[in-house]
Amino acid sequence: MFIKTISSVVFAGLLMTSAIVTADEKPRVMIAPDLFSFEVMHDGEPMEVKRNQDPENRITELYATTYRGMPQPMHPFEPYDVETIGEREFVLYMMQAQNDKNIMIVDTRTIGWHERLTIPGAVSYPYTMMDVPEDRDWALDDFGVIKQSDGVYDFSGAKTLAMFCNGYWCGQTPAMVRAMLEVGYPEDKIKYYRGGMQAWTSLGLTVVGDAATVE
């Protein structure tokens, strides 16, 4: 599996390990056993991604309500073999994307949601783009797909996309992924972060946007 092949390289080059905790210090809340924080580029600026270290921090009001729709299946794209990933796998893709242009972190939500709150390093490609042929071709071109003169898509250069939306219950990423699979996007190049923003914010991980709280 691709994520396993990159993990040793990523951790060797990019992770910032926790310092030794003394008796007077509070233990750090970690992302993974040896990963406290890492850096990504967002809108051309470096940003540190970590979990909020304030014991009193609470999840943003945007994702506080539990009155949502039905949760998505763990594997909603069968018979296609699209991998569903969790936070630690998603983080590895975020880190790898900093040096590998063939990996992208894709926010599939509508623009308003993306502007309010998103994950650092994520690029906005709303799922609705798949409904308009011109917008779909524009997105696919950014994803490394070439539309040939006969109208047939060439997926030989397709990028690996780690995609997310609002949460377990959100249908925006599933809708976009299904549309992409229908036109032939390689199933092994799509990674579905099912937890999305609800899971991300529940862990106190760094966010950006109009509704983000500046520490």
Would you kindly state where each structural domain of the chain is located, as residue ranges? 2-202
For residue 147, the cross-strand partners are 153
Confidence of residue 19 (pLDDT cuts 50, 70, 90): very low
Q: Mind giving me the DSSP string for 29-71?
A: PPSBTTBSEEEEEETTEEEEEEB---TT----GGGT-----PP
Comparing 212 with 40, the larger pLDDT belongs to 40
CB 128 within 8 A of CB 110: yes
pLDDT at 21: 47
Of 80 and 11, the one with more pLDDT: 80
Task: Assign 124 to helix, strand or coil.
Answer: strand
**Res. 44 pLDDT band, cuts 50 70 90:** very high
pTM over 0.85: yes
Output the average pLDDT for the chain: 90
CATH class in words for 2-202: alpha beta
